[in-house]
Structure 1
Amino acid sequence: MVGMTASEKITPKQFHDADGVDDWRVLYWGAHAFFRADSFAQGASFVAGIAELVADTRHDPDVDLRREGVAVKLITRDIRELSVHDVELARAISALASRLGLRADASQLQVVQVAVASVPSADVLPFWQAALGYVRPGERHLADPLRRGSSVFLQDEMPEDRPRRGRMHVDVAVPHDQVHARIAAMLAAGGRMADDSEAPEWWTLADAENHGVDITTWWGRESVRLEEEREP
């Protein structure tokens, strides 16, 4: 990316506008790809090749090897978002996958997060941290220290005068080019559109028992961040 240093932060749109990253999709703060393999051994060879690519960079991706293939997540850890370096590494990993005969399959990509809402005075975060054995990377976020399980987001947006009952919902981040197909599948499976006022950042759907799921993509998130940064 012309005129930018490798460690410089970029937006999801800048990542997707770059050449050579068609295999990848931004979900929340990282870029994800899944490469199908014909065998576990083929996938293992791919993982070994990725290790060689990053051996001298100290920019290690998260890699998950299964018999179906290999999932890879890229993020620049010191800024907890994407940088130019992630674009360069995405291109190199995709080229390696092509040479080894693995095939990208974006339909397998998603990130799941559990959101727990409570009144502002209820400090429930220590309970959930103890129950899950998670770490606390942010003020209201809990995460698996090895990044295996779903993260947990603690919301304190319930008004004090609301009836005291717990509220939970699931956030599902999907590729931006597959979100409408996912929504259509949920509606066809008996769900209803509960709220689309925040679209395209997220859509809230509910099942027959009114359990909510927020389907989200990176669409809309960049503009919200930039507006907040411009505020005095």
Structure 2
Amino acid sequence: MISHDVHGKTQRDVDLARRISELAAERGMVAEPSAVSRVEVGLDTWDAEEIQPFWRAVLGLEPHPRSAIDLVDPDGNKPTLWFQQCEPHQLPQQRFHLDIRVPPEVAEQRIAAALAAGGELISDERAPRFTVLADPQGNKVCVCTQAGRDD
């Protein structure tokens, strides 16, 4: 639970969670804390302001109200993306990359917004199934759709 007005956990969230747990326990329900998790993505960068507009555009996120750099989904469906300061380095040899799956009618708009925000088109040879983009520091993302998939 988080308070959406402050985009973070407050005492009222803790109090509400405790009350819900009490009500559930009264009805014989057992808590399963292992079933609760939240994914956040951290991206190492030497200049967050340089790449933040690209990631905001391609993922459809908004600036965090309490942080000028971190990005959040106001609806809470997508993970938070935060930027961790690091020393400049060569083009990343990524061990993973992000795929953002969107409806076909949204993909072109997302790609155009990401390119306008400083991104680079790496490959569109498999479009509309997926298009590979990179931010100004070389971090890659695939904008994917269901179009062109046989499965």
CA distance in 2, matches of 1:75, 1:167: 34
* TM-score, structure 1 normalization: 0.35
How much does 1:108 deviate? 1.4
CA RMSD for the aligned pairs?
Answer: 3.0
CA contact (8 A) 1:117 1:167 kept: no
Which one of 48, 63, 80 corresponds to residue 151 of structure 1? 80
How much does 1:167 deviate? 5.7
Look up the match of 1:135. 62
Confirm or deny that 1:81 pairs with 2:14: no
Distance 1:76 1:148, change over 3 A: closer
How much does 1:168 deviate? 7.7
Distance 1:166 1:128, change over 3 A: farther
CA distance in 1, matches of 2:57, 2:28: 43
Distance 1:111 1:169, change over 3 A: farther
Consecutive unaligned residues in structure 2, runs of 5 or more:
98-151
CA distance in 2, matches of 1:133, 1:163: 27
CA distance in 1, matches of 2:20, 2:46: 45
CA contact (8 A) 2:48 2:83 kept: no
Amino acid paired to 1:148? N
Q: What does 1:180-219 correspond to in 2, within 5 Å?
A: none
CA contact (8 A) 1:116 1:168 kept: no
CA contact (8 A) 2:2 2:8 kept: no
Distance 1:111 1:168, change over 3 A: farther
SS of 1:123's partner is: helix
Q: What does 1:15-54 correspond to in 2, within 5 Å?
A: none
CA distance in 1, matches of 2:24, 2:38: 22
Distance 1:141 1:119, change over 3 A: same
How much does 1:144 deviate? 1.4
How much does 1:157 deviate? 2.0
Distance 1:122 1:89, change over 3 A: closer
CA contact (8 A) 1:129 1:142 kept: yes
Amino acid paired to 1:102? M
How much does 1:123 deviate? 0.7
Distance 1:100 1:155, change over 3 A: same
Distance 1:88 1:120, change over 3 A: closer
Number of equivalences: 95
* TM-score, structure 2 normalization: 0.50
Which one of 15, 18, 22 corresponds to residue 91 of structure 1? 18
